[in-house]
């Protein structure tokens, strides 16, 4: 391909992909399948790698990150990012309104109200339509330049094309981790044996300061834009917001223009409970004088504008009884105390339990079973105990003695230096840890043995058939058929599911091992860097921390894991059973035009290929994989557990259905 051809193709792909991105992330419209989108992105990445000078400044490949920053440059804000005065009092809002009227000498003004999202304030500069700089708020006068990280936010335009916008302008917004993403992130950390994050706001802040923008991209940050700044003012804040909406910026549709303070108070009442249904956390309302000339007339104090104020909602709290404190044991041996509560309705849901985190938190609150306690939702997501109502404490109440022994196996608990968590050290003999490790091993993002569940793990463990993950691969038909609830079909399905898991790539196997602090993303980084388990095991501490985002705690955990002889023996067993401990062990080479012009749909689970490998084979032999069945489809490759709907549709359209072996014969 010539350079001119490459330039045309890169320009075309960049425009198309940015269009599809905008439709998907801003309008929730999928105009093409994920597979087609991924193929276009792959083609663009390949072209940009071959012709790096032709990469456009608004290339969608910037969304996936990859830039490594060892430090962030401090830059000054052109316009100071002042903090707002805030209040929890409606009377204060009325006083604010009186000050505005007095300062303007008239009652002829309007307010513009917006929900106050609990995230990280950012400033983005656009020049000639392109996003050229992203900066944190910092101290208000200067902040950290984090442009590479900001560009990973998919709802933030990399290029805007609107005639009304000047050559250079600035937008400000609130970056946040959506509630759903935050819960998923904490779930994955819990599975990796890591401490969960306390709130989404601090997590978003830490994410934006990560050195590797690829890691930032994985956190799926979002951003609501709330302000437009340029040399010329649009006249009102409302006009600026509408212009940003028209240009394709992600503006929360919850804003409203209000004619007076009474309408402002009605707006506050309207969102007091409805805000819990929004995708982002909120903690209040921002009220601004709408007219920008009037804003200038009112001016600023040393710290904040006189034309704006933030009203903070009181954190919703409920009083209920603490019935008992129970203790949960994770697969890493970490003990977590849990408050068992008299059910109480709070912020849209019924709360029955709340994490107490550790012994220090119980001691700080002086919690005792039978106490009446106040419950809040931390960041409106996670319930937490905030205080004890001492006036309701029974006279015979006694301080709680934190448990000293494992609630599962009775082993004395340990507490490592500089850590607040108690651990059960009996990792090879504690039933809860053994079953927890195996449940993690079979997880969908690990070995993906979907025919095996926690109930079956319990049965296998109680029958002496399962103490380590490697024992799964030694199971026989006669071991399983005698278990309660198992018959011929379910026994064979389980064995087949275990056999299929051997095709999982090294990154999944490493995650499945359950090394403390090595979650899915860390496992991917380690496998990409070291390529094999032997290289990883032999890595020095300094070599480990040289990998982006691998800190001292993770590095030490990896060193501890691989110096344990029992772990070495377990890896050797798994290796003998055929699990993959080398990156790209099954990478396919060769290929020809045997499948040229043929289209395929893949459905089900296969013995000799993962689904991704099967797609790669089809591509290398000239074929194409599509996501849906139509009369134009050539083949449906049917694996185990294929959906019946796809099969029925293929039959009705007379599409040829082939097995994995028949597909191999096509290649020959």
How crowded is the C-beta side of 303, counted as CA atoms within 13 Å? 6
DSSP letters spanning 322-389: EEEEEEEE-TT-EEEEEEEEEEEEETTEEEEEEE--SHHHHHHHT--TT-EEEEEEETTTEEEEEEE-
Written out in words, the top-level CATH class of the domain with range 431-503 is mainly alpha
Name the band, by pLDDT with cuts 50, 70 and 90, for residue 612: low
Cα separation, 521 vs 441, in Å, equals 16
Q: How far is CA 341 from CA 84, 333, 354, 425, in A?
A: 38, 25, 8, 30
Active site residues: 116
- Contact between 241 and 228 (Cβ < 8 Å): yes
Q: How far is CA 96 from CA 89, 289, 307, in A?
A: 11, 11, 9
Of 12, 36, 8, the residue nearest 24 (C-alpha): 36
Given a cut of 50, whether residue 329 has pLDDT beyond it is yes
Q: Among residues of the chain, what percentage have pLDDT more than 90? A: 55
- Contact between 26 and 155 (Cβ < 8 Å): yes
CA quadruple 89, 95, 97, 101: dihedral, nearest 10 = 180
Q: Is 49 exposed, middle or buried (0-12, 13-18, 19+ CB in 10 A)?
A: exposed
In CATH terms, the fold of domain 599-667 is Rossmann fold (3.40.50)
Given a cut of 80, whether residue 651 has pLDDT beyond it is yes
pLDDT of residue 641: 72
pLDDT of residue 526: 93
Superfamily covering domain 76-85+108-263+272-310? DNA ligase/mRNA capping enzyme (3.30.470.30)
Given a cut of 80, whether residue 195 has pLDDT beyond it is no
Which long-range contacts (C-beta less than 8 Å, at least 24 apart) are formed by 663-667? 663/614, 663/635, 663/637, 664/608, 666/594, 666/595, 666/635, 667/594, 667/595, 667/617, 667/621
Name the band, by pLDDT with cuts 50, 70 and 90, for residue 460: very high
* Average of per-residue pLDDT across 655-660: 91
Name the band, by pLDDT with cuts 50, 70 and 90, for residue 586: very low
- Contact between 519 and 188 (Cβ < 8 Å): yes
> Which CATH code of 1.10.287.70, 1.10.150.20, 3.40.50.300, 1.10.287.610 fits the domain covering 506-576?
1.10.150.20
> Which CATH code of 2.30.42.10, 2.40.50.140, 3.40.50.410, 3.40.980.10 fits the domain covering 317-415?
2.40.50.140
* Domain boundaries defined on the chain: 3-64, 76-85+108-263+272-310, 317-415, 431-503, 506-576, 599-667
pLDDT in tens, 473-499: 999 999 999 998 899 999 999 999 999
* Average of per-residue pLDDT across 428-441: 92
- Contact between 140 and 307 (Cβ < 8 Å): no
Instruction: Specify whether the backbone of 589 is left (phi greater than 0), alpha (psi in -120 to 50) or beta.
Output: beta
Most confident of the following: 322-336, 342-356, 375-389: 322-336
Other Cβ atoms less than 10 A from the Cβ of 360: the count is: 12
CA terminus-to-terminus distance, the chain: 31
Cα separation, 54 vs 4, in Å, equals 10
pLDDT in tens, 168-188: 999 999 999 999 899 888 887
Name the band, by pLDDT with cuts 50, 70 and 90, for residue 617: confident
Q: How far is CA 622 from CA 136, 368, 464, in A?
A: 47, 68, 50
pLDDT of residue 100: 96
Q: Among residues of the chain, what percentage have pLDDT more than 70? A: 95
Of 110, 151, 129, the residue nearest 21 (C-alpha): 151
pLDDT of residue 63: 80
pLDDT in tens, 58-83: 898 888 766 666 678 999 999 889 88
Given a cut of 50, whether residue 50 has pLDDT beyond it is yes
- Contact between 537 and 575 (Cβ < 8 Å): no
* Average of per-residue pLDDT across 545-567: 90
Looking at domain 3-64, does it have CATH number 2.60.210.10? no
The H or E element containing residue 264 is helix 261-274
Q: How far is CA 461 from CA 457, 495, 542, in A?
A: 6, 16, 39
pLDDT of residue 381: 63
pLDDT in tens, 271-305: 988 998 899 989 899 999 999 999 999 998 877 89
Cα separation, 662 vs 666, in Å, equals 6
Q: How far is CA 117 from CA 235, 280, 413, 471, in A?
A: 25, 7, 41, 49
pLDDT of residue 590: 52
Identical fold for domains 431-503 and 506-576, yes or no, is: yes
Whether the full predicted model's pTM is greater than 0.85, yes or no, is no
DSSP letters spanning 80-111: --PPPPEES-HHHHHHHHHHHHHHHTSS---E
* Average of per-residue pLDDT across 10-24: 88
Given a cut of 60, whether residue 380 has pLDDT beyond it is no
pLDDT of residue 587: 46
- Identify the sign of the CA torsion 69, 75, 80, 86: positive
- Identify the sign of the CA torsion 410, 412, 414, 420: positive
Given a cut of 60, whether residue 588 has pLDDT beyond it is no
- Contact between 219 and 275 (Cβ < 8 Å): no
Of 171, 174, 156, the residue nearest 120 (C-alpha): 174
More confident residue, 605 or 10: 10
Given a cut of 80, whether residue 192 has pLDDT beyond it is no
pLDDT of residue 193: 62
In degrees and rounded to multiples of 5, residue 613 shows phi and psi of -65, -40
Cα separation, 462 vs 447, in Å, equals 22
Rounded to the nearest integer, the mean pLDDT of the chain is 88
pLDDT in tens, 109-140: 999 999 999 899 999 999 999 999 999 998 88
The H or E element containing residue 116 is strand 111-117
């Amino acid at each position: 391909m010539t350079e001119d051809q490459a330039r045309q193709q890169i320009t075309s792909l960049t425009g198309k992909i940015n269009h599809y991105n905008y439709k998907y992330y801003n309008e929730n419209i999928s105009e093409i399948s994920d597979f087609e989108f991924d193929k276009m992105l792959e083609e663009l990445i390949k072209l940009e790698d071959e012709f790096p000078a032709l990469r456009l400044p608004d290339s969608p490949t910037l969304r996936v990150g990859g830039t490594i920053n060892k430090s962030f440059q401090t830059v000054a804000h052109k316009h100071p990012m002042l903090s707002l005065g805030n209040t929890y009092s409606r009377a204060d809002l009325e006083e604010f309104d009186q000050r505005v009227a007095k300062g303007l000498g008239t009652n002829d003004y309007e307010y513009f109200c917006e929900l106050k999202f609990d995230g990280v304030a950012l400033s983005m500069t656009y020049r000639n339509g392109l996003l050229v700089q992203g900066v944190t708020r910092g101290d208000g006068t200067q902040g950290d330049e984090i442009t590479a990280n900001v560009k990973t936010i998919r709802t933030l335009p990399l290029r805007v094309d609107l005639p009304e916008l000047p050559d250079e302008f600035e937008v400000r917004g609130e970056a946040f981790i959506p509630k759903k993403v935050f819960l998923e992130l904490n779930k994955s950390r819990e599975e990796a044996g890591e401490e969960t994050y306390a709130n989404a706001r601090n997590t978003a802040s830490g994410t934006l300061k990560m050195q590797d923008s690829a890691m930032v991209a994985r956190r799926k940050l979002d951003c609501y834009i709330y302000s437009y700044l340029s040399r010329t003012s649009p006249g009102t804040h409302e006009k600026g917001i509408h212009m940003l909406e028209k240009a394709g910026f992600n503006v929360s549709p919850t804003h409203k223009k209000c004619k007076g303070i009474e309408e402002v108070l009605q707006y506050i009442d309207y969102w007091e409970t409805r805000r819990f249904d929004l995708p982002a956390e909120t903690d209040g309302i921002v009220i601004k004088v709408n007219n920008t000339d009037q804003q200038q007339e009112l001016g600023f104090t040393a710290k904040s504008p006189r034309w704006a104020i933030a009203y903070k909602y009181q954190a919703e709290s409920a009083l209920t009884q603490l019935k008992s404190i129970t203790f949960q044991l994770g697969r890493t041996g970490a003990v977590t105390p849990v408050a068992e509560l008299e059910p109480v309705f709070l912020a849209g849901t019924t709360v029955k339990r709340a994490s107490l985190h550790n012994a220090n938190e119980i001691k700080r609150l002086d919690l005792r079973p039978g106490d009446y306690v106040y419950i809040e939702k931390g960041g409106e997501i996670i319930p937490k105990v905030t205080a004890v109502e001492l006036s309701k404490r029974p006279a015979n109440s006694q301080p709680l003695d934190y448990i000293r022994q494992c609630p599962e196996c009775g082993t004395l608990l340990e507490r490592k230096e500089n850590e607040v968590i108690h651990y059960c050290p009996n990792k090879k003999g504690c039933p809860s840890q053994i079953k927890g490790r195996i449940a993690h091993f079979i997880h969908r993002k690990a070995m993906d043995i979907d025919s095996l569940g926690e109930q079956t793990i319990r049965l296998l463990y109680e029958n002496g058939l399962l103490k380590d993950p490697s024992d799964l691969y030694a199971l026989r038909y006669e071991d399983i058929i005698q278990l309660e609830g198992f018959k011929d079909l379910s026994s064979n399905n389980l064995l087949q599911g275990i056999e299929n898991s051997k095709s999982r790539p090294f990154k999944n196997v490493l995650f499945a091992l359950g090394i403390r602090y090595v979650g899915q993303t860390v496992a991917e980084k380690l496998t990409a860097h070291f390529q094999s388990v032997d290289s990883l095991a032999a890595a020095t501490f300094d070599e480990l921390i040289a990998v982006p985002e691998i800190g001292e705690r993770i590095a030490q955990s990896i060193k501890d894991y691989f110096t344990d002889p029992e772990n070495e023996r377990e890896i050797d067993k798994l290796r003998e059973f055929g699990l993959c401990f080398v990156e790209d062990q099954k990478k396919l080479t060769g290929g020809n035009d045997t499948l040229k012009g043929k289209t395929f749909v893949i459905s089900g689970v296969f013995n000799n290929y993962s689904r991704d490998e099967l797609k790669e084979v089809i591509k290398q032999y000239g074929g194409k994989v599509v996501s849906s069945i139509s009369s134009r489809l050539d083949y449906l490759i049917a694996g185990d557990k294929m959906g019946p709907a796809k099969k029925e549709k293929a039959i009705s359209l007379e599409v040829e259905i082939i097995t994995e072996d028949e597909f191999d014969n096509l290649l020959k």
